[in-house]
Amino acid sequence: MWRSYAGLPYGSTAPMPDTQLFGSWIAMVGQKLGKLLSEIKECHQRVVAVMGACEEVEVESRCSAEGVLSLKEVSVSGFRLIRIPRVWDDPDRRRAEKDTGEELARLARRFRNAVSSRISGGMGPNGMCCWLA
């Protein structure tokens, strides 16, 4: 499981962005991350495995004594499963297991492409900087 954060520099505040602008930005980020991570395996039109998923984008705010909301942080969590083969004592069985090298390389390419295409939408609302954790 990983979590991606976008936050303001320590101690700084920013007014909540315009609802339309912020809503469309959050929808775009959620859609791009969903395409990157989400995968469901089906058999006979029934879900048999969830290989990856993305949660909803979360927004954290501060409330001043005057009741004014300020944006503090935006985050999203997700996961992507990779099948790791078992190590067998039987050499024939070991050869039959699928090598995960290509699957890991494919996942690394997906993340590299997402980062290089700025899946975060670049700088977020109010100049928030984005990173993965």
Please state, in angstroms and rounded to a whole number, the distance separating the CA atoms of residues 73 and 88: 46
Minimal CA–CA distance to 76: which of 12, 16, 25, 13?
A: 25
- Mean pLDDT, rounded, for 28-49: 86
DSSP class per residue in 57-103: PEEEEEE-TTS-EEEEEEEEEEEE----PPP-SSHHHHHHSPPSHHH
In this predicted model, what pLDDT tens digit does every residue of 89-98 receive, in sequence order?
777 776 767 6
Q: What is the pTM of this model?
A: 0.59
| Res. 39: pLDDT tops 80 | yes
Q: Is the pLDDT of residue 121 over 80?
A: no
Domain spans in the chain, listed from the N-terminal domain onward: 2-128
